[in-house]
Amino acid sequence: MSESITLQAIDLSRRFGQNLAVANISITVPRGTRVGIVGADGAGKTTLLQMLAGILDPSSGSCRVFDYDSRRQSKKIATRIGYMSQGFTLYDRLSVDENLEFFARLHDVTNEQYQLRRNTLLQMAGLTAFTQRPAGQLSGGMRKKLSLCTNLVHEPELLILDEPGLGVDPLSRRQLWEMLDRFRQQEVTTIVATSYMDEAMRCDRVLLLQDGKLLADSTPDSLLEQLKGRVFSISFDSATAPEEVVAKALRRIQGTHSIQRLPDRFRCVTDDAEFEKRVASELRTNITVKPAAPKLEDLFVLHSGEQFGEKPLDLTTLAPKKYNSGVRTENLSIRFGNFTAVDGVSLTVDGGELLALLGPNGAGKTTMIRAFCGLAVIGEGSAVVAGEAVSTTNRNLKRQIGYMSQKFSLYLDMTAAENLAFFANLYGLSGKVAQTAIDWASSVTGLNVPLQTLATELSGAVRQRLALACSILHQPAVLFLDEPTSGIDPISRYRFWDVIRTLVSAGMTVIVTTHYLDEAAYCDRLALMMSGRLISHGTRDELAHSLALAPDTDMETLFLQAVARATSAEQVGGVV
Amino acid sequence: MPVAFIGLLRKETIQFFRDRVILGLILWLYTIEVVICAMALSFDVENVPMAVVDQDRSVLSRTLLQKFALSQSFDLKHQENDVSVAERHLTRGEVTTIFVIPPGFERSVRAGNQAKVQFLQDGTDSNIAANSLYYAKGIVNAFVREQFPQSRDTNVVSVTRIWYNPQLTTANFMVLSMIALAGMMVGVIHPAASIVREKERGTIEQLLVTPISTMQLFLAKLTPTMIMGILSVFPSLLIVRAFDVPLRGSLALFLALTGVFLLSAIALGVLIASYSRTLQQALLLSFFGLFPVMFLSGTLTPVESMPVFLQALSYLSPLRYYMDIITGIFLKGAGWMELWDETLSLLAIAVPMLILALAVFRRRLK
């Protein structure tokens, strides 16, 4: 193996009992390249990374890192690599400084070297002001950045990162990647697993993993090339062609891999070269089919080979009951001691509207949703949700709302059926009524697993569907979703949003917080929050207009511009 | 009962029976642990290692040594001629008692004079020291009566009878106290763990956005521990049998009063859970709470031998009353008439604790 090759894996496989997690993967990584590993939940990304880092021994095949054998010389490999796992690897009670110093000591970094690197790293990570703060009190984004610093302090030649962007707000994620770009210039080889497609686009090479097998290994650009003529945008006039009619028609078309349902149009990935004609023959009304700009995400959808249209959602039993009541707040403030988490927010969400609540970590989104659910005490102002005044004691409010948290709060030691029955009981549903509700919620969410499976054995994507089913059993008027798609693969995300749009079209009001800015595209309106305040509110086009940006500006730019403007306004305000 | 409450109960039951580790631990606590405790923590004096120094070397002195050799209480380890050599065994901890028969022992006995023998005792463990001395004296007295029946003082004959525990075995007591301790531990730790686990997984939040009341949640956390705490007494009854501990009173009364006792344990468990964020914290806090309750209960040392200040505090330990109840029912055959004041005391502790637990549980969840 020559000097210019950092890592070479031949026929790498790993079994866990009967389950083949990684199957016969061979890769060669030249020095200084950045390799992205993309795959669905459970595709084998983490297992592969652990084998490459020498943490996990392969069942068969071999892996050489810097010409060391990963089985027998893993200690030698460990001194020259940085491995950042998905979970946090920091000591919560130690301060930022102490954490960093601890990892430096572990790697025998000398004092002079440490002082030098410490300052550079902390500056890059924007943590200079927080060196004395315990790691446990940092926001999610800051923790990820510190975690990256602890893996860079010994200047590794190979950096292996497992989903670094997971649960991190866009601003922190951008800084994280800026740090990685700096180290790339110093010829650090990077292998990064990700479920963010924009992160995959920043790599030299992308490995597409499915069920432990390597589906594709090429540059992001050449992969995108494969998508030419496969992605379409379908816009329609809802007066002559209702959304549901169009959705059904699209599902009928053979070879359709995905249907993304956006507020004003659909976006499809298809195998069918004649797609435009077929749509025209299925639907003769006013619809326009145009080729759409492909994304790496679509490629993943295409390669997964799954067909989307098999089972249309059954909404016949969704009763149009007390719907069409939304959320209204006036000058809402929530305080914890001296800290103002939500600061004078006035917001109106109409019934049957899908609103995305966006903002960096710590902007107050989750606190506001918790207050709407009666979990946080309102300091000043008022809020009305589904016609009920919001307070921690109003139990009528709780019958009207559904809530799904980031953690998919299920009982893992109970089966899917037991979870559903339990939550049905909590809403006072029992016997046949409960069974009808469970059947309905399972079919709406596409929960097609055997219900006798323990929740702990379900994949993340299925747990997400189960959690959603549990939270809509009682057909709430307003549904709150806190980071509902964290760590879920693209296809499952498409499906999830399809379900949500279906619920919204039936009149349910949905408020969602998300870090995936792309997902804001599914929402009717956006509300941007920062430091507890509502800094911007409206449709995507309205936001772009108010920031003097082009209407088709991508979400991330829009978001960062709005944040930048609010920050500068604050500074000016401070001077005045 | 409202549907939601039945749902909560069903869920707690499913989770309880699905957690094999907890099930195994509870069974272990109520069976194996009871056996270990009864066998290891016995205060009976047996096989005390002993060195003897026979300076008389007479028939009589040898007969006396024989008595010691045959007794269950002592184990003759060394026989020396010199007291200073025997003392070295004592210092090294090889023996805890030295028995010295001085020269001229037989002669003075036969002459009708007062004869003296000497016991040198390692007093490090005062309990064992006092007991072995007591046993040794018994052996010597029995020997004297046997050898010289005519010299017995016939005026006063004291006949001692011991009630409730005629063999004076400590095993009876230890088996029962371990069952009481097991009830205390499970009663505190089980509700604490089941609440904290919901906090850790975030499911508690999911429960709070549903229309159930905190009261329902509180009762749902309390009921399964109560039922399970009463049921898990049964495997212990087999152990009680095996140790020949009698059950002289009513089993139903025992189960009912176990339930009353568990109320205060569960209240403590809920309080602990309300102030803990992780399972680790809850377990550590449980031990903080459990030890004083145990020390003050009179299980390990009699309440009467504690300093006055601690004696007063011991009235606050529910375990104190439960120990009286459990030994009363098993050994004395006590019934409701004898135990009503203990029961009222337990309630006087449990009710305010439950009210406090509910209040704190409510406040901390908001």
Give the percent of chain B with pLDDT over 70: 93
pLDDT more than 90, % of chain A: 26
- Residue B338, pLDDT > 80, answer yes
Q: Name the most confidently modeled range: A411-420, B70-79, B298-307.
A: A411-420
| Residue A27 counted as domain residue | yes
**Chain A within 8 Å of B18 (Cβ-Cβ)?**
yes
The whole-number pLDDT of residue A324 equals 61
In this prediction, residues A226-243 reach a mean pLDDT of 80
Across the interface, do A374 and B209 touch by the CB < 8 Å criterion? yes
A402 and A495 inside one domain:
yes
Q: Do A421 and B3 touch (CB under 8 A)?
A: no
Given a cut of 50, is residue A382 above it in pLDDT? yes
Q: Is the pLDDT of residue A170 over 90?
A: no
Which residue of A lies nearest to B5 if distances are taken between CA atoms? A426
How many residues does the structure list for chain A? Answer: 576
Do the domain assignments include residue A309?
no
Is the CB of residue A234 less than 8 Å from the CB of residue A288? yes
Give the gap in angstroms from C-alpha B357 to the nearest C-alpha of chain A: 19
Question: What confidence score (pLDDT) does residue A310 get?
Answer: 46
Q: Which of B10, B22, B195, B206 to mutate to test the interface with A (most CBs of A within 10 A)?
A: B206
- Please report the DSSP string for A114-162 in residue order: HHHHHHHHHHHHT-GGGTTSBGGGS-HHHHHHHHHHHHHTT--SEEEEE
Residue A424: pLDDT band (50, 70, 90) is very high
**Shortest distance, CA A236 to any CA of chain B (angstroms):** 38
Examine the pLDDT at A459 and tell me if it is beyond 90.
no
Q: How confident is the model at residue B306 (pLDDT cuts 50, 70, 90)?
A: confident
pLDDT band at B165 (very low <50, low <70, confident <90, very high): low
Least confident interval from B27-41, B128-142, B222-236: B128-142
ipTM of the complex: 0.74
Q: Do A300 and A428 share a structural domain?
A: no
User: Is A311 within the bounds of a domain?
Assistant: no
Would you state the pLDDT for residue A333?
Answer: 92
Asked whether residue A270 carries a pLDDT value surpassing 90, the answer given is: no
Tell me the average pLDDT across A88-101: 87
Q: Decide if pLDDT at B66 tops 70.
A: yes
Chain A partners within 8 Å of B22 (Cβ): none
Range of the domain at A111: 5-223
Q: What is the mean pLDDT of residues A286-301?
A: 78
Judgement on whether residues A86 and A206 belong to the same structural domain of the protein: yes
Residue B155 has what pLDDT? Answer: 41
In this prediction, residue B254 carries a pLDDT of: 94
Instruction: Tell me which chain A residue has its CA closest to the CA of residue B6.
Output: A425
Looking at the fold, whether A436 and A398 belong to one and the same domain comes out as yes
Q: Report all structural domains of chain B as residue ranges with CATH numbers, in order of start.
A: 3-41+169-365 (no CATH), 48-151 (3.40.1710.10)
Q: Is A315 inside any structural domain?
A: no
* A310 in a structural domain: no
Give pLDDT, residue B366.
67
Q: According to the model, what pLDDT value does residue A309 have? A: 45
Please indicate, yes or no, whether residues A182 and A232 belong to a single structural domain of this protein: no
Using one digit for the tens of pLDDT, what is the confidence trace for A540-573? 888 888 888 887 777 778 888 888 888 777 655 4
pLDDT confidence of B156, banded at 50, 70, 90? very low
Task: Give me the mean pLDDT over the A378-384 stretch.
Answer: 90
Q: Cα(B269)–Cα(B272) distance, rounded to whole angstroms?
A: 5
Q: How confident is the model at residue A318 (pLDDT cuts 50, 70, 90)?
A: low
pLDDT higher at B362 or A302: B362
Residue A474's nearest CA partner among B15, B12, B7, B11 is B7
Out of A182, A206, A223, a domain closes at A223
Residue B215 CA from chain centroid, whole number: 36
* Cβ contact, residue pair A427, B210, below 8 Å: yes
Structural domain includes residue A321? no
Residues of B in contact with A418 (CB under 8 A): 11, 14
Q: Residue A313 pLDDT more than 90?
A: no
Q: In chain A, whose CA is at the least distance from the CA of B210?
A: A398
- Indicate whether A210 and A298 sit together in one domain: no
Give the mean model confidence (pLDDT) for residues A88-104. 88
Does A282 have pLDDT greater than 70? yes
Clarify whether residues A248 and A392 are in a common domain: no
Contacts of residue A392 in chain B, CB cutoff 8 Å? 366
- Nearest Cβ partner of B14 from A377, A401, A414? A414
Which chain A residues are closer than 8 Å to B3 by Cβ?
425, 428-430
B8 interface with A at CB cutoff 8 Å:
yes
pLDDT tens sequence across A199-218: 888 999 999 888 888 888 88
Local confidence band at B150 (pLDDT 50, 70, 90 cut-offs): low
Same domain (yes/no): A290, A410: no
A424 and chain B in contact, CB less than 8 A:
yes
Nearest to B209 among A401, A425, A428 (CB): A401
Reported as a pLDDT band with limits 50, 70 and 90, residue B158 is very low
User: Taking CB atoms and an 8 Å cut-off, how many pairs form between chains A and B?
Assistant: 80
What's residue B151's pLDDT? 59
Q: How confident is the model at residue A268 (pLDDT cuts 50, 70, 90)?
A: confident
pLDDT at B192: 93
Whether residues A350 and A402 fall in one domain = yes
Q: Does B214 touch chain A (CB under 8 A)?
A: no
Contact flag A398-B206 (C-beta cutoff 8 Å): no
Say if residue B177's pLDDT is above 80: yes
Taking CB atoms and an 8 Å cutoff, what residues of chain B touch A374?
A: 208-209
CB distance B272 to B286 below 8 Å: yes
Q: What is the CATH number of the domain that holds A440?
A: 3.40.50.300
In a domain, A316, yes or no: no
Which residue in chain B is spatially nearest to A482 when comparing CA positions?
A: B206
Mutate to test the interface with B, among A334, A396, A404, A409 (most CBs of B within 10 A): A409
pLDDT of residue A161: 93
Test B11 with A427 for CB contact under 8 angstroms. no
Answer yes or no: do A24 and A54 share one domain. yes
At residue A44, the pLDDT reads 86
Q: B124-138, B186-200, B253-267, B317-331: which has the minimum mean pLDDT?
A: B124-138
Q: Output A297 or A217, whichever has higher pLDDT.
A: A217
C-alpha to C-alpha distance for A217 and A226, rounded to whole angstroms: 13
Does the pLDDT at position A97 exceed 70? Answer: yes
Mean pLDDT score across all residues of chain B: 85
Hey, are the CB atoms on A395 and B201 less than 8 Å from each other? Answer: no
Same domain, A413 and A368: yes
Give the C-alpha distances (Å, rounded to integers) separating B167 from A328, B44, B162, B163, B244. Answer: 79, 10, 8, 9, 12
Q: Does residue A44 belong to any structural domain of this protein?
A: yes
Condensed to tens digits (0 to 9), the pLDDT of residues A59-76 reads 999 999 998 888 888 888
* Residue A505 and residue A484 share a domain: yes
Nearest to B178, CA basis, from B42, B338, B314, B6 = B42
Min Cα distance B188 → chain A (Å) is: 22
CB contacts of A470 in chain B (<8 Å) are: 206
A313 touches chain B (CB under 8 A): no
Last residue in a domain, options A189, A223, A257 = A223
Query: Does the pLDDT of residue A110 top 60, yes or no?
Result: yes
Contact check, Cβ <8 Å, A414/B206: no
Amino acid B153: pLDDT: 46
Q: How far apart are CA B116 and CA B140, in angstroms?
A: 11
Query: If you average pLDDT over every residue of chain A, what do you get?
Result: 84
CB of A119 within 8 Å of a chain B CB? The answer is no
Q: Is B2 on the interface with A (CB under 8 A)?
A: yes
For residue A427, list chain B residues with Cβ-Cβ distance below 8 A: 4, 210-211
**Which residues in chain B are contacts of A410 at CB distance < 8 A?**
203
The CATH number for A283's domain is: 3.30.70.100
Q: Inspect the interface and report whether the beta carbons of A405 and B8 lie closer than 8 Å.
A: no
Inspect the interface and report whether the beta carbons of B14 and A410 lie closer than 8 Å: no
Q: Does B215 touch chain A (CB under 8 A)?
A: no
pTM for this structure?
0.76
How many domains does chain A divide into? Answer: 3
Tell me which of A202, A223, A244 is where a domain ends. A223
